[in-house]
Chains A and B, each alone.
Chain A
Amino acid sequence: MTRHLLSIDDVNAEEIQQLFATAAEMHDVQKREVKKLPALRGRTVINLFFEDSTRTRSSFEIAGKWLSADVINLSAKGSSASKGESLRDTVLTVTAMGVDGLVMRHSASGAAHQVAGWLDIPVVNAGDGTHEHPTQALLDGYTLQRQLGGPGSLEGKRIAIVGDLTHSRVFRSNVKSLTKLGASVVAVAPPTLMPSGVADWSKAEGFATSYHLDDVLPEADAVMMLRVQRERMSGGFFPTSREYTVGYGLTRQRLGMLREGAPILHPGPMNRGLEISPEAADAASSRILDQVSAGVAIRMSVLYHLLAGEESA
C-alpha cells in the first residue's frame, strides 16, 4: 500500500478494492455497541485544515477516534498561519510535536504533495484546491459499488458526473478512481464549467463529455451531482442560478428520466434548489446520507492501512 494518499494515482485498482474491503468491515463497527478498534492506539493524527470543512474534518476525526488514535484538529483560522507563518513552518511545527500522521486540506492545488516531501510521516490529502480529494472519490466509489452489487459491479457501468467540474477536485479524483474500477464516466457541465483539455483526461473506454444533461440521464447507471462552488467563482460562469438549474439541475422533472433505482450521489454540502431539487435529494434512490456514513468507514480504512502497519522505509 502507498505511504501517502495524495492522489488516486497513488493506488491501483487492487489496492482500491482492498481499501473497500477494509472499509466494509469498518462499516460494521458503526453498528456495534463499542465503536472502537484498538488498531491505532498510541498514535496521534493531526487534522490540519487551511480551508473550511465540516463533514470531511469531522469524518476524519471520528475515523481516527474509532481506531483509538489521538486526533487533534487545527484550522488555519486563529492559528499562526493567519499571523503570516509559512506553510512549511506551520507543518514542521505541528508535526514536531510527535505526530504520526497528517491529514491536510488546503486551498492551493498541490499543497499536500509539497508537504509530503517535507515530512517523514504519512500524509493524507483531504482536498487541495481544485486538484484532488482522494478519500471523497473512494467513498463515492465504495457507495456506488455497494449499491450496484459488490466488488466488480462498477465494471461497464456509466456514471454521470454533473455540475461545476472546473472547480471540482471531487470530479478529478472520481474520474481517476471510477475508471480504474472499470466504469465509464460521462462529464456533464455547461461549456463555461467544463475544464479545458478534459477530453484527454482519461483513456478509459467511454469516457465522454456532454453539455446536455437530458441526453445523458436516461443512459446513466448512477448520477453524481456536484456543488456549484460559488466561493471559487469570480462570476460570469452562468447568467443566473435559475438558468443553471434549468440546464443542469437535477430537478423533479429530470428525476423521472433516471433509470429505476439509479443511485443519486452528492458529496455535499448541497445547494438545494440550485444543482439538486429537494425531491431528488430526498428520493428513495438518493444515497447522500450513505455517502456520509461510508466516509467514516473509508477514512478508517485509509488511516488503518497508512498508519497501523510496520513503518515502510
Chain B
Amino acid sequence: MSEPAPERVSDPSADGRVVLDARDISRALTRISHEILERNRDAEDLVLLGLHTRGVPLARRIAARIEAAEGHPVAHGALDVTMYRDDLRTHPTRAPHHTEIPPVGIDGKTVVLVDDVLFSGRTVRAALDALADYGRPAVVRLAVLVDRGHRQLPIRADHVGKNLPTARSERVGLSLEETDGIDEVRIVELEGVTTA
C-alpha cells in the first residue's frame, strides 16, 4: 500500500554515484532561500508548503534560513496531494499524509511549493489542484532541490537547486537527514530499462 510513485523514488542504500553531498545541498538551499526573498521582499506574505514526503523537511529548512536572514518567522506547512494524483488507479491505495496549512491561510499570499525532485511535473499539477481547494493564493511559485528534466506537462520551477540532466533509464535517489539519516543525491542506473 505504501508503494512510492515512480518519480519520487529514494533509496539511501542504493548504489550509483553521488552527485550532491550534504554541503552541496546546504548551499543550494541557502541560495534558493535568498532567491525566494529577492523575489518577495516582504516575507510576511510568504507561505512555504512542502510536498510530501521529502518536500516537507526541505520547506522547513528553507523557512529556517529565511527566518535567520530576516529575523522573523515565515509561515510554512505541508501539502499532501495523494487524493489529487492522476495515477491513483494504477497503484494500490495508500493512506494520505497530513496536510498542514499554516493558520494565516493561503488567500492572497505568495505560496512557494517546495519539492525534492522535479520530474514529470504530475505531482506539481496535483498540488496546484489541491491548493485551489484550500484557497486562492495571489501567486504560486515552485522551488525544487533537483530538476532532472523529462517533463510531461507544461510546468517549470522558479527556483532550482541543481539541474541534473538524466536519462530516463536512470533514477534520482534523494536522501535527507530527516527521513533517511543522510543528506545526498545519487544517480542510479536502473537495470532492464532502455532509454526512451
A contact set with B: CB distance below 8 Å: 1, 18, 21-22, 24-25, 28, 32-34, 36-39, 67, 304-305, 308-312
- B84 close to A1 (CB less than 8 A): no
Residue of A nearest to B135 (CB): A33
- Contacts between chains A and B (CB distance < 8 A), count: 52
Flag the segment in B4-12, B64-72, B92-100 that touches A.
B92-100
Residues facing A in B74-88 (CB within 8 A) are 80, 82-84, 88
- A25 close to B89 (CB less than 8 A): no
- B135 close to A309 (CB less than 8 A): no
- A32 close to B96 (CB less than 8 A): no
Any A CB within 8 A of the CB of B150: no
Minimum distance in angstroms from B37 CB to a CB of chain A: 30
Residue of B nearest to A19 (CB): B95
Minimum distance in angstroms from B129 CB to a CB of chain A: 7
Name the prevailing secondary structure of the A interface residues.
Answer: loop
Q: How long is the Cα–Cα vector from A154 to B29 in the complex, in angstroms?
A: 42
Any A CB within 8 A of the CB of B133: yes
- B91 close to A309 (CB less than 8 A): yes
Q: How long is the Cα–Cα vector from A143 to B95 in the complex, in angstroms?
A: 18
Residue of B nearest to A35 (CB): B133
Residue of A25, A28, A36, A305 most packed against chain B (CB within 10 A): A25
A-B pairs, top 4 by smallest CB distance, nearest first, are A309-B93, A34-B133, A37-B83, A39-B83
Instruction: Take A1-B1, A33-B135, A37-B83 as given contacts and tell me if A21 and B88 are in contact as well, using a CB distance cutoff of 8 Å.
Output: no
- B95 close to A309 (CB less than 8 A): no
Minimum distance in angstroms from B62 CB to a CB of chain A: 24
A310: contacting residue among B91, B96, B99, B134, CB under 8 A: B91
19 A-B pairs in the complex with CB atoms less than 8 angstroms apart: A1-B92, A1-B93, A22-B95, A24-B98, A25-B97, A25-B99, A34-B133, A34-B134, A37-B83, A37-B133, A38-B129, A39-B88, A305-B93, A308-B88, A308-B93, A309-B88, A309-B91, A310-B90, A311-B89
Q: How long is the Cα–Cα vector from A39 to B88 in the complex, in angstroms?
A: 7
Task: List 10 additional contacts besides A24-B98, A33-B133, A37-B83; criterion CB under 8 Å.
Answer: A1-B1, A22-B96, A25-B95, A28-B99, A32-B134, A36-B133, A38-B83, A304-B83, A309-B89, A309-B92
Minimum distance in angstroms from A23 CB to a CB of chain B: 9
B88 surroundings in chain A (CB, below 8 A): 39, 308-309
- B95 close to A18 (CB less than 8 A): yes
B132 surroundings in chain A (CB, below 8 A): 34
Minimum distance in angstroms from B105 CB to a CB of chain A: 10
Interface size range of chain B in the complex: 20 to 34
B93 surroundings in chain A (CB, below 8 A): 1, 304-305, 308-309
Q: How long is the Cα–Cα vector from A308 to B89 in the complex, in angstroms?
A: 6
Q: How long is the Cα–Cα vector from A25 to B79 in the complex, in angstroms?
A: 12
A36 surroundings in chain B (CB, below 8 A): 133
A25 surroundings in chain B (CB, below 8 A): 80, 95-99
Q: How long is the Cα–Cα vector from A124 to B134 in the complex, in angstroms?
A: 30
Instruction: Take A21-B95, A28-B99, A32-B133 as given contacts and tell me if A38 and B90 are in contact as well, using a CB distance cutoff of 8 Å.
Output: no
A28 surroundings in chain B (CB, below 8 A): 99
A37 surroundings in chain B (CB, below 8 A): 83-84, 133
Minimum distance in angstroms from B133 CB to a CB of chain A: 4
B89 surroundings in chain A (CB, below 8 A): 308-311
B98 surroundings in chain A (CB, below 8 A): 24-25
B1 surroundings in chain A (CB, below 8 A): 1, 18
Residues facing A in B32-61 (CB within 8 A) are none
Residue of A34, A36, A308, A311 most packed against chain B (CB within 10 A): A308
Residue of A nearest to B82 (CB): A39
B133 surroundings in chain A (CB, below 8 A): 32-34, 36-37
Q: How long is the Cα–Cα vector from A139 to B7 in the complex, in angstroms?
A: 35
Q: How long is the Cα–Cα vector from A200 to B92 in the complex, in angstroms?
A: 36
A32 surroundings in chain B (CB, below 8 A): 133-134
Residue of B nearest to A68 (CB): B83
Residue of A28, A33, A38, A67 most packed against chain B (CB within 10 A): A38
A305 surroundings in chain B (CB, below 8 A): 93
Residue of B nearest to A23 (CB): B95
Residue of A nearest to B88 (CB): A308
Minimum distance in angstroms from A43 CB to a CB of chain B: 9
